[in-house]
Amino acid sequence: MSERNAQPGIRHKLAERLFHWVMAAAVIVLLATALLPILGIRFGWVPIHWTTGVVLSAAVLFHIFRAVFVNRLADMVPGPTDLREAGRVVLGRPTNDLRPAKYDAFQKGFHTAAAVTVLALVATGLTMLYKIDTSFWRRDPAVLSDATWGYIYVIHGAASLVLLFLVILHIYFAILPEHRAFLRAMIAGRGPGLARGDKH
Output the pTM of the full model.
0.89
**Percent of the chain whose pLDDT exceeds 70:** 94
CATH number of the domain at 3-188, out of 3.40.1190.20, 1.20.950.20, 3.30.930.10, 3.60.20.10? Answer: 1.20.950.20
Reported as a pLDDT band with limits 50, 70 and 90, residue 137 is confident
Q: In DSSP terms, which residues pair with 196 in a beta bridge?
A: 101
Crossing angle of helices 146-174 and 180-188, rounded to 10°: 110
Range 36-46 burial, b when 16+ CB lie within 10 A, else e: eeeeeeeeebe
Mean pLDDT computed over every residue of the chain = 92
The tens digit of pLDDT for each residue in 13-59 reads 999 999 999 999 999 999 999 999 999 999 999 999 999 999 999 99
Residue 199 has pLDDT above 60, yes or no: no
Residue 7 has pLDDT above 70, yes or no: no
Spatial separation of the C-alpha atoms in residues 61 and 39, rounded to whole Å: 32
pLDDT for res 4: 39
The tens digit of pLDDT for each residue in 146-194 reads 999 999 999 999 999 999 999 999 999 999 999 999 999 999 999 998 9
Closest CA to 115 of 187, 175, 67, 176: 67
